[in-house]
Amino acid sequence: MNIILLGPPGAGKGTQAQLLVEERGMVQLSTGDMLRAARTSGTEMGNKVAAIMDAGELVTDEIVIGLIEEQLQVKDGNGFIFDGFPRTLAQADALGDLLTANGQGLNAVIEMKVNDDVLVERILGRAEDARKAGEKVRADDNEESLKIRLMEYYKKTSPLLGYYYHAGDLKAVNGLGTIDEVKVEIAAILG
């Protein structure tokens, strides 16, 4: 079973993906995590994406599609959870093509619905907690980058809702619930 978790930054995609990995043996493919790993590697690609990520903008389709293509070839498990990918229509088309080429498809696209006030509160709160605890704060978890991340989401990623709705794959869950409530809603969709 292959699924996409779709929603704005702070919607809880990573948290739910982690639970699906633990409980169902699925494989999480988070382009955000892959890019954060790439930037610490000191490679040319890593350096190029670091500045873009910190500003809250999207890195190029070519880079993230390449990362996903690579992972689809090396990872194996009880299905893939695409977390933070696709984020543009070009990425959505590319994912469809890659899955088809592997004789696979998408089983569900789960929209995690949350309102913007909550997103801003969650992300800036998370940064504040980390700061108080002396932990590392994500360079893009500040008010300015967050505003850009949200605008990128509305301009480039939210059209995917219509795209997947018409493909017949879209399901929504209430991302304002507790972690457990959201988990139960997702389980009801996946069966």
Buried-exposed string 12-31: b where 16+ CB fall within 10 A, e elsewhere: bbbebbebbbeeeebbbbbb
Choosing from 24, 36, 126, 171, the catalytic residue is: 126
- Only one residue has tokens 């739910």, namely 16
Could you tell me whether strands 108-113 and 3-6 are parallel, antiparallel, or unpaired per DSSP bridges?
parallel
Choose between 126 and 171: whose C-beta lies nearer to ligand ADP.
126
Task: Respond yes or no: is residue 122 known to be catalytic.
Answer: no
How many Å from the N-terminal Cα to the C-terminal Cα in the chain?
11
Give residue 173's Cα distance to chain centre: 15
The verdict on whether 138 is a catalytic residue reads yes
* CA neighbor of 128 nearest in space, from 114, 145, 141: 141
Distance CA 60, CA 157 (A): 13
| Residue 59 binds ligand ADP (CB under 6 A) | yes
Active site residue 126: yes
183: Cβ contacts below 8 Å, ≥ 6 apart: 16, 19
Which tokens hold the place of 184?
A: 């139960």
Binding-site string for ligand ADP from residue 142 to residue 181, where x marks contact by CB under 6 A and - marks none: -------x--------------------------------
Q: Residues 36, 48, 113, 138: which is the catalytic one? A: 138
The number of helix segments (H) and strand segments (E) in the chain equals: 9, 5
Q: Site size for ligand ADP, by CB under 6 A?
A: 17
Please report whether residue 39 would count as binding ligand ADP according to CB under 6 A. no
Window of 21-29, 54-62, 113-121, 165-173 that interacts with ligand ADP by CB under 6 A: 54-62
> Which position among 5, 38, 84, 94 is part of the footprint of ligand ADP (CB under 6 A)?
84
Question: Is residue 85 involved in binding ligand ADP (CB under 6 A)?
Answer: yes
Q: Is 87 in the site for ligand ADP (CB under 6 A)?
A: yes
Q: Site residues (CB under 6 A) for ligand ADP?
A: 9, 31-32, 35, 52-53, 56-59, 64, 84-85, 87, 91, 140, 149
Residues known to be catalytic: 13, 87, 126, 138, 149
